[in-house]
């Protein structure tokens, strides 16, 4: 399964090449605002703290808390026609709604971000492009439009030396592009991550490349890529990402018809997935991987010449994945699973 990185690098003004301080802000001076008695610089700093707090909560996938922090960044910001924290907060509020599938609410905030962002200010414009592209991809279902936005973001971030966001843009092109483009951009992102020492990106990037190779039927390359993904996930990832990496290696062994190796890796990962889900029953992501465990074991059983047993596993996995929302984020995979179940059911009935 592909990763869409939730982590948004926190880029402070001092770290952004090309940041500008316009005359409008300079003319205000640093005196207290009559309405609050608090100086411009104090309000500015407070707004930045809330923005950073929101980014940290977002990276932990606590989207409700992140949204509250972004709202606080907006509310505490000084009155100014140039405030990057506000523009970024607008964009990120839109993104929290998008992740939750609430696109109508998200578009209201994306429109605010479009008005507030400025292409002359790298941190706001790069953030806005990243969110706009995701809405074009997930809400509008327009991969070509999203790809153009992410390529624009990539070129812009490269020009302004925003390395983490440059990687994010390449990562997204590798997701929305054609299979050929996915390989090209994934390798480009991996090279950039290696040069920049961004090891936290390498697990997801190698992971997505591995699944792209699966779609292309290049199973030997799939195995190599997912072994690389596992290496980096075990260096920098969470327990869940390590589990997913092990599932990926097992799946790649299955694709290469190394069934004994596949059984070893998939069985171990499946047992860990079930234990983790039992320990944290409210964690939807943990439960999702129990569903994938059933599916992967089912495919393996079919390859081992046990179609009836395989069918039972596929049927057990389906409702778990439906509960996890697969119909919304990967309907093609659900259709493929349903077709597989129908074919096996017909064969075993016959």
| The predicted structure's pLDDT at residue 22 | 29
Per-residue model confidence as pLDDT tens digits over 105-127 = 999 999 999 999 999 999 999 99
Out of 43-47, 205-209, 234-238, 317-321, least confident range? 43-47
- Is this prediction's pTM over 0.85? no
Q: What is the mean pLDDT of residues 183-211?
A: 90
223 and 259 assigned to the same domain:
no
> What distances in angstroms separate CA 146 from CA 32, 126, 248, one per listed residue?
43, 14, 27
d(C-alpha 8, C-alpha 342), whole Å: 41
**266 and 347 inside one domain:** yes
Q: Tokens 């153009």, residue?
A: 148
pLDDT number for residue 310:
97
* Residue 75 pLDDT > 80: yes
Same domain, 38 and 114: yes
3-state SS, the chain, equals CCCCCCCCCCCCHHHCCCCCCCHHHHHHCCCECCCCCCEHHHHHHHHHHHHHHHHHHHHCCCHHHHHHHHHHHHHHCCCCCCCHHHHHHHHHHHHHHHHCCCHHHHHHHHHHHHHHCCCCCHHHHHHHHHHHHHHHHHCCCCHHHHHHHHHHHHHHHHHCCCHHHHHHHHHHHHHHCCHHHHHHHHHHHHHHHHHHCCHHHHHHHHHHHHHHHHHCCCHHHHHHHHHHHHHHHHHHCCHHHHHHHHHHHHHHHHHCCCHHHHHHHHHHHHHHHHHHHHHCCCCHHHHHHHHHHHHHHHHHHHHCCCHHHHHHHHHHHHHHHHHCCHHHHCHHHHHHHHHHHHHHHHHHHC
The CATH code of the domain that includes 297 is 1.25.40.10
For 12-52, how does the pLDDT look when each residue is reduced to its tens digit (9 = 90+)?
Answer: 222 232 332 222 333 323 333 445 556 778 888 899 999 99
CA distance 55 to 173: 22
Q: Are residues 86 and 198 in the same domain?
A: no
Q: Are residues 331 and 320 in the same domain?
A: yes
The proportion of the chain whose per-residue pLDDT surpasses 90, expressed as a percent, equals 67
> With the C-alpha atoms ordered 116, 119, 124, 130, is the resulting torsion angle positive or negative?
positive
Query: What is the domain count for the chain?
Result: 3
Q: Report the distance separating Cα 175 and Cα 189, nearest Å.
A: 12
Confidence of residue 3 (pLDDT cuts 50, 70, 90): low
- 26/133: higher pLDDT: 133
Q: What's the token pair of residue 144? A: 């070509």
Based on the domain organization, do 8 and 149 belong to the same domain? yes
Q: Same structural domain for residues 222 and 285? A: no
Q: Same structural domain for residues 243 and 286? A: yes
Q: Are 158 and 242 members of one domain?
A: no
Determine the structural domain holding residue 103 and report its residue range: 1-177
Is 54 in contact with 89 (CB distance < 8 Å)?
A: yes
Both 109 and 26 in one domain: the answer is yes
Whether 106 and 254 share a structural domain? no
Statement to judge: residues 217 and 268 lie in one domain: no
Determine the straight-line distance between the first and last CA of the chain, rounded to whole angstroms.
Answer: 33
Mean pLDDT of 72-79: 89
User: In this structure, are residues 256 and 219 in contact, taking their beta carbons and an 8 Å threshold?
Assistant: yes
d(CA 242, CA 91): 31
Rounded Cα distance, 309 and 173, in Å: 39
pLDDT, tens only, 285-295: 899 999 999 99
| Residue 245: alpha-carbon gap to chain centroid | 15
- Which tokens hold the place of 261? 């190796």
């Amino acid at each position: 399964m592909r990763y869409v990185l939730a982590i948004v690098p926190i880029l402070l003004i001092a770290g952004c090449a090309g940041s500008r301080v316009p005359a409008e802000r300079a003319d205000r001076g640093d005196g207290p605002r009559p309405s609050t008695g608090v100086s411009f610089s104090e309000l500015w700093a407070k707004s930045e703290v809330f923005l950073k707090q929101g980014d940290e909560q977002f990276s932990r996938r606590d989207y409700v808390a992140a949204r509250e922090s972004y709202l606080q960044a907006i509310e505490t910001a000084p009155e100014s026609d140039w405030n990057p924290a506000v523009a970024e907060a607008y964009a990120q509020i839109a993104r929290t709604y998008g992740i939750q599938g609430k696109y109508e609410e998200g578009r209201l905030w994306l429109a605010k971000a479009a008005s507030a962002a400025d292409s002359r200010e790298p941190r706001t414009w790069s953030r806005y492009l990243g969110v706009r592209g995701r809405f074009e991809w997930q809400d509008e279902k327009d991969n070509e439009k999203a790809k153009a936005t992410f390529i624009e973001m990539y070129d812009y971030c490269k020009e302004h030396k925003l390395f983490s966001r440059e990687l994010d843009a390449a990562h997204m092109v590798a997701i929305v592009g054609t299979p050929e483009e996915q390989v090209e951009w994934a390798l480009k992102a991996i090279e950039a991550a290696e040069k920049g020492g961004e090891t936290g990106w390498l697990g997801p990037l190698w992971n997505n490349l591995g699944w792209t190779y699966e779609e292309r039927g290049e199973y030997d390359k799939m195995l190599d890529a997912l072994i690389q993904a596992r290496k980096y996930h075990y260096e920098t990832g969470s327990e869940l990402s390590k589990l997913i990496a092990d599932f990926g290696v097992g799946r790649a062994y299955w694709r290469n018809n190394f069934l004994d190796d596949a059984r070893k890796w998939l069985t171990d990962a499946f047992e860990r997935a079930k234990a983790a889900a039992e320990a944290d029953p409210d964690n939807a992501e943990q439960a999702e991987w129990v569903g994938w465990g059933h599916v992967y074991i089912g495919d393996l059983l079919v390859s081992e010449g046990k179609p009836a047993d395989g069918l039972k596993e596929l049927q057990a996995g389906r409702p778990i994945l439906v509960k996890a929302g697969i119909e919304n984020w990967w309907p093609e995979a659900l259709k493929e699973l349903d077709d597989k179940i129908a074919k096996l059911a017909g064969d075993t009935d016959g």
